[in-house]
Structure 1
Amino acid sequence: MKILDGQLVSQATKDELKIKVAQLVAEGKKVPHLAAVLVGNNGASETYVGSKVRTCEEIGFRSTLVRLEDTISEFKLLEAIEELNSDMDVDGILVQLPLPKHISDEKVINAIHPSKDVDGFHPVSVGKMVQSLPTFIPATPHGIMLMLEHYKINTKGMHAVVIGRSNIVGRPMSILLSANTNPGNCTVTICHSATRNLKELCLQADIIVAALGKPEFVTADMVKDGAIVIDVGITRVPDATKKRGYSIKGDVQFDTVSPKCSYITPVPGGVGPMTIAALMKNTYNACLAKH
Structure 2
Amino acid sequence: MSGKSMELQSTASMEMETRTSTSDYTNPCPICLGPINQSSYLDKCFHNFCYNCIVQWTKVVSGKRSCTLSSIKCPLCKTESSSIIHGLDGHNFQRHYVNPDFQDSFILSKAHRYRLQCYYTEPGFLNDIFDVQRYWKLQKYLQANQWLEVWLKRELQALIQEEDVDIIMHHFLGLINSFFRRNEPEYQTETPELKRKRFSQTILDAAKPFLSARADRFILELELFLASGLNIEAYDSVYLQRLGWNKPIVPSVANEEDLGLKSVTPYLYIFDCDPDDGD
Q: For this structure pair, what is the TM-score category when the shorter chain's length is used for normalisation?
A: under 0.3
* TM-score relative to the length of structure 2: 0.26
Higher share in strand: 1
Larger radius of gyration: 2
* TM-score relative to the length of structure 1: 0.25
